């Protein structure tokens, strides 16, 4: 049976999450108290309901208990916290909550929420990492420790195989894919040679990736 997701709060962040999950093939229950926001998304998701999410009975009636995971994307801090509490009372096990600040995040942890995202902060870090290097094409934080980086091959890498580069042994970095001539090579073999204009998809700790980047771009 497919997982079902709930998204409460249909601002820019919440609606983007809801639409993308639906595109990935998962049924989404999108909820907001504003009719206009629900109307905007109703044709893009499986279910869309106008609900005052701080009301446990209304939330349960909307079908939130059918969801395996619920994302709380409400911007108002008080409502955000109240809805998080309501979801816990309703027995939702997987709750992901958007926080607007570190203090907000600390409060959420105090009430038992462990999966907290900071969209603005994460985007700021992503942009900073991207503009700090001409070789980093994109950057995504995939956990507290590990990042996924899209890295443009430098002249120091061109002509060498992954075995010769030995990125895992030298830096603790894994090459999960290589984009070559518009095609993506997933889980490339050790003998795969890096060519000019190739893009490497790297996973590793931020500090290790930075160390690799410095050496890869050294003249």
Q: What is the pLDDT along the chain (219 residues), one digit of tens a residue?
A: 678 999 999 998 999 899 989 888 889 999 999 999 999 999 999 999 999 999 999 999 999 999 999 999 999 999 999 999 999 999 999 999 999 888 999 999 999 998 888 877 666 555 555 545 567 666 666 666 778 888 999 999 999 999 999 999 999 999 999 999 888 898 899 999 999 999 999 998 878 888 898 889 886
Give the integer Cα–Cα distance in Å for 160 and 65. 53
Tokens of 64: 């939130």
Per-residue DSSP letter, 45: S
pLDDT at 130: 55
Tokens of 2: 């497919």
111 CB-near residues (< 8 Å, 6+ apart): 81, 84, 85, 88
pLDDT at 43: 96
Reported as type and span, the H/E element at residue 8 is strand 5-8
pLDDT at 31: 98
pLDDT at 129: 57
CATH superfamily of 122-216: Regulator of K+ conductance, C-terminal domain (3.30.70.1450)
CATH of domain 5-117: 3.40.50.720
Sign, CA dihedral 51-91-89-19, equals: negative
pLDDT at 207: 82
135 CB-near residues (< 8 Å, 6+ apart): 151, 152, 154, 213, 216, 217
pLDDT at 70: 95
Domain ranges of the chain: 5-117, 122-216
Sign, CA dihedral 117-118-124-129, equals: negative
pLDDT at 96: 92
């Amino acid at each position: 049976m497919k997982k079902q997701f709930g998204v409460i709060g249909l601002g820019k962040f919440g609606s983007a999450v809801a639409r993308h999950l639906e595109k990935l093939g998962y049924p989404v229950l999108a909820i907001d108290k504003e009719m206009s926001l629900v109307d905007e998304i109703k044709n893009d998701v499986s279910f869309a309901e106008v609900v005052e999410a701080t009301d446990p009975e209304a939330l349960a009636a909307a079908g939130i208990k059918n969801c395996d995971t619920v994302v709380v994307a409400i911007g108002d801090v008080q409502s955000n916290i109240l809805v998080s509490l309501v979801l816990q009372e309703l027995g939702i096990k997987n709750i992901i909550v958007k926080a607007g600040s570190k203090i907000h995040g600390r409060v959420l942890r105090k009430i038992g929420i462990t999966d907290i995202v900071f969209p603005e902060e994460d985007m700021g870090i992503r942009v900073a990492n991207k503009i700090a290097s001409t070789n980093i094409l994109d950057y995504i934080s995939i956990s507290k420790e590990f990042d996924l980086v899209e890295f443009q091959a430098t002249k120091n890498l061109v002509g060498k195989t992954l075995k010769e580069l030995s990125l895992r042994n030298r830096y603790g970095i894994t090459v999960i894919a290589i984009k070559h001539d518009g095609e993506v090579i997933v889980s490339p073999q050790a003998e795969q040679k890096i060519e000019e204009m190739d893009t490497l998809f790297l996973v590793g700790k931020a500090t290790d990736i930075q160390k690799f980047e410095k050496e890869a771009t050294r003249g």
